[in-house]
A = this chain, B = another copy of it.
Amino acid sequence: MKFEVSAKVVYQAVSPSTLILNLQPFRSATQRVIEESFIADPDLKMKELNAIAGEKRFMIIEIPEAGEVKIDYKATVENELRMIPAQQLDDVPISLMPASALSYLNPSRYCQSDRLYRFAYNQFGGIEHAYHKVMAIREWIYTNVAYGGYTNAQTSAYDTITEQVGVCRDFAHLGIALCRALTIPARYFTGYAYQLNPPDFHACFEVYLGGHWVVIDATKLAPLNGLVKIATGVDAVDTAFASIFGNLQFTSLSVNSVSLNEMFTQLDFDDQSMGYSYL
């Protein structure tokens, strides 16, 4: 699929600051950034870095003095979504898992899988096949957790499992925590999402099954085949779109994704015969 994605962010700098932005789609064998422009107004010193682990490019921007800062990012991205029959998406034995997947079994700041073992086993442990477990987790979250903006930066999977309300970030954290509790590696996925309404960055998650990182969205708010990956990570802590060091007041954000495909048919969330992988 091919999309033009864009993000405009405006800050008011109160003091000299450093801003790390994580807006740029990740480059991989299956996702090409055909062209992109990253413009700061005023013109600022910027440096692009790649995460050592995980999948993330980020831009470090030095803001030397107070004043308004506008960032205008635009990219044309082409990516492939691989379809994998559900029956191939079974557990990978621990001893065959690569180190890169093993680390996504650990609990993290917002995904305390270590406290969810019994809940996960009681609710989903009896389901035979790993992909069906994950689908059952997705449906449980979709059914029981209300979508709404009552959460805050402290809200974690341990809260959402009981409080049962949240936004895409909370849905993803809970999905990740439940999968890890069942020894299924899971990681946070952030990206641009075509047809997300209202337009914004989106968060969902990936699980490692059958040797693939399969993308799962418990909110069902955006077509799975309309995503452009920005980053994957342990949870929201290492995939935030912005990290601020200094005194920067957030002014506004607008995000967009336009389809450059001749036609776009959205995948059906109810068809569980296939899994979809961006990598």
Additional 17 contacts, C-beta under 8 A, given A45-B95, A52-B99: A20-B94, A51-B99, A52-B53, A52-B100, A53-B53, A60-B94, A94-B245, A103-B238, A106-B109, A107-B109, A109-B112, A115-B154, A115-B159, A119-B164, A122-B144, A161-B162, A162-B162
- Decide yes or no whether A146 CB sits under 8 A from chain B: yes
Query: Interface readout for A70-108 with B: 1 if CB under 8 Å, 0 if not?
Result: 000000000000000000000001110001101101111
Interface residues of A in 144-190 (CB under 8 A from B): 144, 146, 152-154, 158-159, 161-165, 183
A152 touches B152 (CB 8 A): yes
A154 to B141 CA separation, bound complex (whole angstroms): 22
- Decide yes or no whether A139 CB sits under 8 A from chain B: no
Instruction: List 27 interface pairs A-B (beta carbons < 8 Å), by A numbering.
Output: A20-B94, A45-B95, A47-B95, A49-B99, A49-B102, A51-B99, A51-B103, A52-B53, A52-B100, A53-B53, A53-B103, A103-B238, A105-B243, A106-B237, A107-B237, A108-B109, A109-B109, A109-B112, A115-B154, A115-B162, A115-B163, A116-B162, A118-B165, A119-B162, A119-B163, A119-B164, A122-B164
The count of identical subunits is: 4
**Main SS class of interface, A:** mixed
- Decide yes or no whether A114 CB sits under 8 A from chain B: yes
- Decide yes or no whether A37 CB sits under 8 A from chain B: no
Q: Name A122's closest neighbour in chain B (CB-CB).
A: B144
Q: How far is the CB of A171 from chain B (nearest CB, A)?
A: 14
Which residues from chain A sit less than 8 Å from chain B, CB to CB?
A: 18, 20, 45, 47, 49-54, 60, 62, 93-95, 99-100, 102-103, 105-109, 112, 114-116, 118-119, 122, 144, 146, 152-154, 158-159, 161-165, 183, 237-238, 243, 245
Q: How far is the CB of A264 from chain B (nearest CB, A)?
A: 34
A52 to B94 CA separation, bound complex (whole angstroms): 16
A118 touches B163 (CB 8 A): yes
Q: How far is the CB of A278 from chain B (nearest CB, A)?
A: 19
A159 to B118 CA separation, bound complex (whole angstroms): 12
What 8 pairs between A and B have smallest CB-CB spacing?
A53-B53, A118-B164, A18-B94, A106-B237, A49-B99, A107-B109, A52-B53, A94-B245
Q: Which residues of B contact A115 (CB under 8 A)?
A: 154, 159, 162-163
A245 to B154 CA separation, bound complex (whole angstroms): 28
Q: How far is the CB of A119 from chain B (nearest CB, A)?
A: 5
Q: Name A94's closest neighbour in chain B (CB-CB).
A: B18
Q: How far is the CB of A249 from chain B (nearest CB, A)?
A: 15
